[in-house]
Structure formats: C-alpha cells, structure tokens
Amino acid sequence: MTETILVIGSNGQIGSELVEKLREDYGSNRVIASDVREADADTKARGPFIQMDALDSKQVFDAVKKNNVTQIYMLAAMLSATAEQKIKLAWKLNMDGLLNFLDIAKEEKLKLFWPSSIAVFGPTTPRRNTPQHTIMEPSTVYGISKLAGERWCEYYFQKYGVDVRSLRYPGLISWKTLPGGGTTDYAIDIFHEAVKNKSYECFLEADTMLPMMYMEDALRATISLMDVDASKVKVRSSYNLAAMSFTPEMLATEIQKHIPDFTCTYKPDIRQQYADSWPQRIDDGEARADWGWSHDYDLSHMTEDMLMHIQQTVVH
C-alpha cells in the first residue's frame, strides 16, 4: 500500500526533523508537512506543505480526504512551561486537537501517532525506574492534558479499533530546531551558550535529574513504533521510552571535557517545580520487549554530536 503521511506541527522541534526523516524513507511527495504558522520558502521547496489550524476540524478533514492520507503524526502541542502561562489555551490545543485527529482516524481508518510525555507522572509517582503502569497524578496543566490524552487514545482503540500509537517522550535534545516552552529546554540552551559565550545560567538546580533523549533516537523510536505490526503494539495509552538520565551539573561537566573554560551557574525559577514533580529515570522495558526498542545515544555520545553540529553552524 502506498502511504501518504501528514505531519501536524511540522515547524516544531520534533516535526521539522521528523518530516525530513520520513521523506528520506517514503519520498518527498508522500509526506505532507502542516503547521498553523506559514512555512518559509526553503521548507516549501522541499515538499508539500499545508498551512492549517489543528483545531479546525473541517479544514483538517478536507485536507485528509483530498490527499488520501493514510497516516497522521499529530505533534501540535503546548509544552509544560508555556502551558502554565495559558492554561485554557493549552487544554484546548492539547485536548481538542487530539480529539479531532482521533475522530478523523476513526472515520477514515488511519494510523495515528500522538506524543505523550514523562509529564504524565506526578509527585506521588515512584521517581526511580518509574514503571509503565503506576500512580499518575500530574501537577502541571501539560501533564494533566497528556494523561487525559492517553486515556482518550486507549478509549478510541478499545471502543472503535483506532490504530493509535504513542510514546512518553523524555526531554528531547536536538541542534537543528530550538524547542519552545518546555522545562527540559535547558539541556539544549546550554550547548548554544557554551559554544557562543562559554557560560550558561541554568534555570534548574545543579542536581535535578531528568530522563532525556537525543533527537536521533526519538525519531527512530517514533518511526519504528509506527512501522511495527499492530499485533506487537500492546500498550495503546502510551509507552514509557528512555535513553539516559542526567542532571545539569553532569551535563556541564561533560561539556567541559570539550570546552574546558565553560562555566555553568544555577538560578532556579518556576520550572524547578515542574521538574521536581517528574521522574528521574523511567523503566521502558515494555517498549523494548514489545517492539524491540533500544537507544544508541548516551550522555557522552550525545554531547559530542551536539557540540560538533552547533560549532559547525556557528562557524558557517
């Protein structure tokens, strides 16, 4: 079957890189990028692009039908720090957005990917080796919306047989596109500041341990989960997914191995509270057993790759 893939939120941190990877696998014309924000000329030259609002169900339905879409990656969302500033809007985008696409997937019998997050866990969750199934009482708007979204995914699968697949992403680290409004963003900002200014003021405490993943691994996990036979997808809420866990201090020390005069200072803000409510390390044994997930990048490999790419961008 020839696939036609629609990526919603294609100008974002995950979307921009996912579109590139999917186009390598499926061909440029088979992957339609879409975002509420207009794309630049370069992006449009690389393949089909539709400007549309994920909340406009009629526009989205029409685009799906007109283009005979067979798979959708629904990535449009508001992340933890921004969501706390705009709680109603965050709920609307994170929830109504997902429900629109669950309905489309049900009507048109499409395969749907939707990202969840480690933010579904809360202060009462065991923080080390957090199991797939455990106490989930998130204390951020973002986490509440992701947990509700997971329940909707499972509901649409159980009730209507919708082939929806999801991952609980840790903090994602990438050099191509900057993240927008998350708590784990420090782990990207620190690299840019280290290369440009050799110093960084971190908005989390030095010893705040969080689960993290390099974008290369996250993209591979996402596409593998979407490609695997439906019978292997045993979890229809969202899979725990892990690669590494580190603190800002551990990351700063790793960067100093490459930039010895780099210094990091710590001035925690409100985002410390969100980070403190999340796990330090999660157990992704079910993803590894069910569909063969394994990560490639650890802290040192990721740091080396990030610095190499950011240094090249600064030089050119």
Residues near ligand AKB, by CB under 6 A? 79-80, 117-119, 142, 169, 171, 182-184
Calpha distance 185→174 (Å, rounded): 10
Nearest residue to ligand AKB, using CB? 182
Tell whether the torsion through CA atoms of 312, 76, 173 and 112 is positive or negative.
Answer: negative
- Which CB atom, from 10 or from 277, has the smaller least distance to ligand AKB? 277
142 has catalytic annotation: yes
Measured from the CB of residue 181, what is the shortest distance to ligand AKB in angstroms?
7
Measured from the CB of residue 169, what is the shortest distance to ligand AKB in angstroms?
6
Beta carbons of 69 and 29 less than 8 angstroms apart: no
Measured from the CB of residue 182, what is the shortest distance to ligand AKB in angstroms?
3
Measured from the CB of residue 200, what is the shortest distance to ligand AKB in angstroms?
17
Q: Which helix (H) or strand (E) holds 7?
A: strand 5-8
- Which CB atom, from 47 or from 170, has the smaller least distance to ligand AKB? 170
- Which CB atom, from 59 or from 247, has the smaller least distance to ligand AKB? 247
- Nearest 5°: phi and psi at 7? -110, 115
- Which CB atom, from 7 or from 172, has the smaller least distance to ligand AKB? 172
Question: What three-state secondary structure class fits 9?
Answer: coil
Beta carbons of 22 and 182 less than 8 angstroms apart: no
The single residue of 73, 142, 239, 297 carrying the catalytic annotation is 142
From the CB of residue 41, how many other CB atoms can be counted at a distance below 10 Å?
A: 7
**Which residues carry out catalysis?**
142
